[in-house]
Structure 1
Amino acid sequence: MNLLKKTSLSVIALSFAVLGCKSPEKEETFVQKAEKAHQKEAFNNQEALQFDIKLEFGGAERMNGTMTLLTNSSKGMIELKNGSKIIYDKDKVFYSPDVPSEKSVRFDAYTWAYFFMFPYKMSDGGTIWSPYDNKATNKEQFETQKLNFESGTGDAPDDWYVVYTNKETHLVEQLAYIVTLKSKKEDAEKEPHGIKYKNFVPVDGVPFATEWEFCSWNEKDEFGQTIGKASLSNIKFITVTESTFTPGTDFKSI
């Protein structure tokens, strides 16, 4: 056997040995499957997006306006129908003096944007994921995990979420949550709430829920009575300028 043939056989044998020792591919995590379903990469390739949002609770209008958000979530703006504006820039919030309620400015600045951006925030720094035992009657339809946050994460690190993804599509279709921005954790946990994301519509290949249903929620019975709703329309990706998130000279800040 000549040297060339010996070398070729050795290479082939080594190749089979390497293939035989190749470790199996890791199964995608709960978060990875959800991010892929929501087209996170395509979403992040865009600069910003804009949509109209109308919120109702208890049969009364809570908010009606247009939201503009950077896809990296560092800046956002709500322009209400009366012309007033709320702008956030990282941890700073600015608002025009004619906002309907100064008490809810910081809550409004971050909460609704976070509910919209949630599928793209699941692997942010400070997130802690753990298994959750779904007790719902339709539990066969969903995978569930619980999200907590490391101390010092964001405005309200004591918040938590129970996340329900569709087992077939892996889209985030339901959330249970507490909001501690305006209350203590022990008080917020007495009355958790839930969101059901419905009527997903693709925009440039990225699926967005155009209807949100807010519900009561508890660990035993899970989703209960409907308490509010949101409708989103005219969702589109846009480009912005330096002035888009610049507050007016008469704006207040918190």
Structure 2
Amino acid sequence: MRKILVFIFVGFCLVTQAQTEVNFVKEIEKAHNAKNFHKHDLVSFDIDLVFGGKSSLKGKMISSTNSNKIKLIKEDGTVIVFDGDKVWITPAENNTVRARFDVFTWQYFFMATFKLSDNGTNWKDLGKQTYIANQQLYAAELTFDKGTGDASGDYYIVYKDDANLIKGMGYIVTFGGKSLAEAEKNAHAIVYSDYLKHDGVSFPRKWTFHNWNKISGISNEIGEAKITNIKFLKNTDVDFDKPIKAEEVKLNN
């Protein structure tokens, strides 16, 4: 009888924890109106990314709302396309592993709110955590099943505000073969602000990037991005096929 009670208690704790984690995600998805977002085929936006006072990326990103296809058109004429299977770039002389980083990373930061329930995502509720000095916010840890994306070893600490909008995400980058220990030494965070509602969906128009760690949270700013011209599009509006004379961007270029 005692063993049965123990099993029931453990099972109850697991269910309660899982429910808390699911609620964390559901509250964010509801606040951002993820349901309405996924009614559309595609979303596009212009991005102007600056690090260290220098332009790092300027162009237009177009993505299917389920992230199956992505196109990045840079201001310098470079086009990077993820056709659902492979990544292509034109002109070919601009082919570096950085191209995969650019087409997936900045799209992910824009789409993060709408990808929280994707296959391969795992959540752990953290309760209130230090966000910045003298401020705590509710947070949860996001990890990924092995083989998810180009860097499944990455993890995120997602913070939400009182309105259940994503306030920021602390993260590590293992892309390029970095070990977990190496990545944690250079951990950063993205902070979302200046929210705009477009067709009922909440989008942040300003991103800032900061140094960050799990204990003390977010610190000094190291970069920023401005997001403009957000639009929903139809599948027929955009061609995600391999561009003429494009070259494949492989993960281990």
TM superposition score category, shorter chain reference: 0.7 to 0.9
CA shift at 1:156, angstroms? 1.1
**Structure 2 SS opposite 1:188:** helix
CA distance in 2, matches of 1:208, 1:138: 27
Shift of 1:72: 0.8
How far apart, in 2, do the equivalents of 1:56 and 1:33 lie? 31
Report the counterpart of residue 191 of structure 1 in structure 2. 186
Cα separation, 2, equivalents of 1:54 and 1:233? 9
Judge conservation of contact 1:94–1:247 (CA < 8 Å) in 2.
Answer: yes
Is 2:223 the partner of 1:239? no
CA distances 1:195-220 after superposition (whole Å, capped 9, x unpaired): 10010001111010000000000123
Counterpart in the other structure of 2:47: 53
Higher relative contact order (CA 8 A, sep 6+): 2
TM-score using structure 2 length: 0.84
**Structure 1 residue aligned with 2:213:** 218
Residue 178 of structure 1 is aligned with which of 159, 169, 172?
172
Tell me the TM-score normalised to structure 1 length: 0.84
| 1:35-83 deviation digits (Å, cap 9, x = unpaired) | 1111111000001011110100000000000111110110011101122
Alignment-derived partner of residue 31 in structure 1:
25
Q: CA offsets per residue over residues 6-51 of structure 1, 9 Å max, x none?
A: xxxxxxxxxxxxxxxxxxxx88710000011111110000010111
**Aligned partner of 2:66 among 47, 69, 72:** 72
Deviation at 1:231, TM superposition (A): 0.2
C-alpha distance in 2 between matches for 1:240 and 1:216: 38
Count of residues in correspondence between the two structures: 227
Counterpart of 2:79 in structure 1 is: 85
Work out whether residues 58 and 74 of structure 2, in 8 Å CA contact, stay in contact via their aligned partners in 1: yes
Match in the other structure for 1:203: 198
- Residues 99/80 of structure 1: CA separation in 2 closer, same or farther (3 Å cut): farther
Contact 1:51 1:234 (8 Å CA) reproduced? yes
Shift in CA distance, 194/99, structure 1 to aligned 2, threshold 3 Å = farther
1:143 Cα deviation after fit: 1.3
**For residue 18 of structure 1, what is the aligned residue in structure 2?**
none
How far is the alpha carbon of 1:128 from its aligned partner?
A: 1.1
* Contact 1:34/1:172 (8 A) holds in 2: yes
Aligned to 1:229: 224
Partners of 1:85 and 1:99 within 8 A in 2: no
CA contact (8 A) 2:25 2:116 kept: yes
Q: Which of 157, 160, 166 lines up with 2:155 in the alignment?
A: 160
User: Which residue identity lines up with residue 30 of structure 2 in the other structure?
Assistant: K
Percent identity between the aligned chains? 36
Flag structure 1 segments of 5+ consecutive residues without an equivalent.
1-25
The residue that corresponds to 2:7 in the other structure is: none
Equivalent residue, structure 1, for 2:247: 252
